[in-house]
Chain A
Amino acid sequence: MGVVPAIETRELCKRFGAVQANDRISLSVEQGSVHGIVGENGAGKSTLLKMLFGFYQPNSGDLLVNGEKLKLDSPSDAMAAGIAMVHQHFMLVEPFTVLENIILGAEGQPMLDHAMSDAKAKLIGLEQQFGFDLPLDTEVSKLSVGERQRVEILKALFRGADILILDEPTAVLTPQECDQLFDLIGLLKSRGKTVLFVTHKLHEIMAITDDVTVIRAGKVVLRTTTKDTSPDALAEAMVGAKINRAVERAGVDHGAPRLRVEAISAKSDHGYQALKDVSFELYDGEVLGVAGVAGNGQTELLEALAGLRQVSAGVVHLAGEHVNSPQKLTDPIALRRAGLAHVAEDRLKAGVVASMTATENAILGYQREKDFCENGLLKLGAISETANRYFESQDVRPRDSSLPVASFSGGNQQKLVIAREIARDPQTLIIGQPTRGVDIGAVTKIHDQITELRNAGKAVLVVSADLDELMAISDRILVMCEGEITGIVPINEADECSLGLMMAGAAPSDERQGSGA
């Protein structure tokens, strides 16, 4: 120690309206170290990062880079201070070559030919130094995700970055690509670079960081060296004193499965194999939680169950009826009539039409039903009565169903969608991200409702990126990784650490082996 830290923040605060996203964050990152920042989704990690590379400006507090107090008004200010960020969503121009992407904005001279040959000379040195082997003249669109990430890192090095911020870099990577990334991070460190590594996967923190800072609800709750801590201690700090809402659980009725999924496979919109040989059963009177890092097939699974994506192999049975197979796809209307309701994962894309009124949205998907429509004409009176009933039963605010859905908060939109989907008393309910973008107050209400449905003997499947949520409401948790099921665990045997390992693709048998990776 004794050296000035590469990055130091003192009491950094950032507010968005009434929400205190970052509350007096003090952070100190030693030069030439790998510093981990962990926290749950929504803990305020992204806000902190965005302040560190000049995208947001703090409301109060100081930011010091190499001991010098700086005010970063834009990403270019941060770049000038030697800070570069590798975003979770890559900032690359797909039809451009690797070389073009790297020099964009740092060309150095107006003529491209010269700029490119100069850059090439410089890149050859960098590639050797850091062990890159990227095809400079290949279009980025032809590269794999892992390669694209390396392009981003090389781009940062090309600009002379000494401090690299990696925002959840492993969320999009395969395990092999993760190993490669970790090797690279080690190399960066040995060459004197400072790396800020942001993640919510604890085994990664244990594997590659020197120090770690845990953020919860916008505050720093733990600051320690990695070798002095354990995954358990970190998990506890991340989650805090857990409010164990003992959910009243009626017994699961293990009769015939309501939903039986038999060895289904499906392709994603991009044509890759998103689901591989997935099999499970969903019973009446249970909540089955589906966990996994985003993009590991959960979306495609929801779509396959909701009749929106035809499987390429296997069969889905709903109450014994065969509803989705390579030969046959029952459409969502018929599925709804057969008692399967679907609360879409992306509310604004598939759950509501934001510019239409709440009244109109209250019957979306059910507009053909006799109650709402006769001879092609909408029964406006009945519709508006229904909407008002939903507003009452779900406590949707403000109580004005003539407003466009866009003017309601995320939580109130979600309450409306849930009211709509459960109004017809469906026996099976599949829910994607029940509380994404939902305010804290509404979260409890939605969770209670899911539990009520389950206690009433319904079969409920919930896909969520929020592991705590699944731990709170599920009877069993199914974990997906790369389109495959890596484990199905009853809730009383599940803990965050082992689930995290399964999410990373480790087989359930060696779940307690600790770090590795």
Chain B
Amino acid sequence: MEFLTDILLLSDSTLRIAAPLILAALAGLCAERAGIVDIGLEGKMLAAAFGAASAASITGSPWAGLVSGILVSVLLALLHGYVSISQRGNQIVSGMAINIMVAGLAPTLANAWFSRGGQTPLLPNEARFTEITLPFADLVADVPLLGAVYSDLLSGHSLLTYAAFAAVPLVAWMLYKTRFGLRLRAVGENPEAVDTAGISVTLLRYQAMIIAGVLCGVSGSALSTALGAGFIRDMSAGKGFLALAAMIFGKWKPVPTLLACLLFAFVDALQGRLQGVSLPLIGEIPVQFTIMLPYVLTVIILAGFVGKMEAPKASGIPYEKDR
């Protein structure tokens, strides 16, 4: 029984941790499928986390927080779009610049506005997306196994966590079932073909950046107003890069990307559980090593242990009409 509880707890925190990762990975997926490499996911997440926490703290409404988080992230996405699409700049440099800028700017602004050493004030529950109890969760809680799964695992997450999981089929539907998705995938593979078909490459890519901005905005908002209760310096902690890794691992496809995110989240949850636990034979693993686990996994995966990964062909290459 205790083992079962352990599993449930572990799965529960996996879902929790996976949510912002999934949203950010989908953001990266939309951008790269349209041919824009988005290494600035991390920065956008962090900026959105700060924007959401600030607005929620001032207005007392999580919804105001979410809207502001999305807005900040979309603006940064458009900035990245301007550099990469209109100015045909280097997309890695632009993305990295956003990461660095946000890492410095967010705590500085937080300090200027709230004078709390680069953090925003602790959000009260009314200003957060709190856990939602799904209908009948209490009723079925005593049903063996299935009841526990429903009430402990599936119920009791924030709205944004549910939104993250809902975003996967939504993005997949957009990519594979709509005209817009067809064009978006085409522009990431062969922008010239799109151009000669009479569709604007520029417009299409900007649209993709806006979608990426929205998804990243929800992801950052989830960090500070759902999982946490306020903005803390560097609270994204490399999740943007993990999301990028998950997207690559997921071969730029929504469902495999979801699975990759769950894997990363599971390892992260596992390392949380392993802290201070004495394992048979090995003994207690130093915290420093357990924290490393998700990142070590990333390195192993990206070092090519999962076979050939083929990015969209035009990804990262600025489109110039006359070559």
Contacts and interface: CB of A to CB of B under 8 A. Distances in A.
Contacts of B177: 111-113
A91 B313 contact: no
Given A75-B198, A96-B186, A104-B186, A112 B179 contact: yes
B118 interface: no
Interface string B215-235: 000000000000000000000
Interface in B150-189: 176-183, 185-186, 189
Contact of B199 (A95, A105, A109, A112): A105
Contacts of B198: 74-76, 79, 105
A106 B178 contact: no
Contacts of A75: 195-196, 198
Nearest to A56: B322
A91 B190 contact: yes
B204 to A, nearest CB: 11
B211 to A, nearest CB: 15
B144 to A, nearest CB: 42
A468 interface: no
Nearest to A84: B196
B179 A110 contact: yes
- Size category of the A interface is 20 to 34
A91 B179 contact: no
A103 B183 CA distance: 10
A101 B186 CA distance: 9
A256 interface: no
A100 interface: yes
B192 interface: yes
A115 B176 CA distance: 12
A93 interface: yes
Contact of A112 (B182, B189, B195): B182
Contacts of A317: none
A85 to B, nearest CB: 8
B203 interface: no
B292 interface: no
A94 interface: yes
21 contacts: A74-B198, A85-B196, A87-B196, A91-B197, A92-B193, A93-B185, A93-B193, A94-B313, A96-B185, A100-B182, A100-B186, A103-B182, A104-B197, A105-B199, A109-B179, A110-B179, A111-B178, A112-B177, A112-B179, A113-B177, A115-B179
Interface of B: 176-183, 185-186, 189-190, 192-199, 313
Given A87-B196, A112-B182, 18 more contacts: A75-B195, A76-B198, A79-B198, A91-B192, A92-B193, A93-B189, A100-B182, A101-B193, A104-B197, A104-B199, A105-B199, A107-B179, A110-B179, A110-B180, A111-B179, A112-B176, A112-B177, A112-B178
